[in-house]
Amino acid sequence: TQLLEQSPQFLSIQEGENLTVYCNSSSVFSSLQWYRQEPGEGPVLLVTVVTGGEVKKLKRLTFQFGDARKDSSLHITAAQPGDTGLYLCAGGDAGNNRKLIWGLGTSLAVNP
Amino acid sequence: DTAVSQTPKYLVTQMGNDKSIKCEQNLGHDTMYWYKQDSKKFLKIMFSYNNKELIINETVPNRFSPKSPDKAHLNLHINSLELGDSAVYFCASSQDRRQFPLHFGNGTRLTVT
């Protein structure tokens, strides 16, 4: 059974700090998606990475896909209260392109 | 202008009742999904329809029955509701069956008392 472990599970930081969230597995994924979910809303896609070693930047957010396509990280620079939310990673099953494996999420609180 | 809309937003009902949740997408996508998010925020896929055809049917009790009248609509009917059914149910859509990427609705919070 494929699993995606996210760490840390909870993170509470002050505005302006940097942070990194990790998404790890022992399985290879065809792609890796990152979503952010705010209270009372559905997850919203932030980025999709598909190539091993790929780095994508979205303003203050930097996403990296591991060389072996088994892990990914999300780094936020100078976090703001608006970054608060649940960050979810989801990996595309390399053997079954219809299957998506979800992590348990990282709940981030950025305090002003 | 909402891309994926689902109703109702909140649903409070008693054990044993039957209830339905409706979902509509205006993105022109071929594939729609029902996901369940439990109290620990874990997202678990329940069903997927591609162009009205059921393509994913995870281990879900028979009390849950999806129905897709056309590719823009996917409804979920739940019979004989149980306490354990309490969760947030999300509808989602994607361009095709690869779930790449997913567009989610804002969820229906179901509370069974």
The pLDDT of residue A67 is above 80: yes
Asked whether the beta carbons of B111 and B86 are under 8 A apart, the reply is yes
pLDDT tens sequence across B44-72: 999 999 988 898 888 889 999 999 999 99
| Helices and strands in chain A, H and E counts | 0, 11
Helix/strand/coil (H/E/C) assignment for every residue in B49-62:
EECCEEEEECCCCC
- Beta-strand relationship, B31-37 and B87-94: antiparallel
pLDDT tens sequence across A9-40: 999 999 999 999 999 999 899 899 999 999 99
The pLDDT of residue A96 is above 90: no
Distance from the Cα of B85 to chain A's closest Cα (Å) equals 18
The pLDDT of residue A46 is above 90: yes
Asked whether the beta carbons of A32 and A92 are under 8 A apart, the reply is yes
- Beta-strand relationship, B108-112 and B10-13: parallel
Structure tokens that stand for B60 in this block = 């879900």
Q: How far apart are the first and last CA of chain B?
A: 34
pLDDT band of B1, cuts 50, 70, 90 = low
Q: Which residue has the tokens 């994607």?
A: B94
Mean pLDDT of B70-87: 96
Which residues of A make CB contacts under 8 Å with B? 31, 33, 35, 37, 40-45, 48, 86, 88, 90, 92, 97-100, 102, 104-105, 107
Closest partner CB to A48 (pick from B42, B55, B100): B100
Burial class (CB in 10 A: 0-12, 13-18, 19+), A62: middle
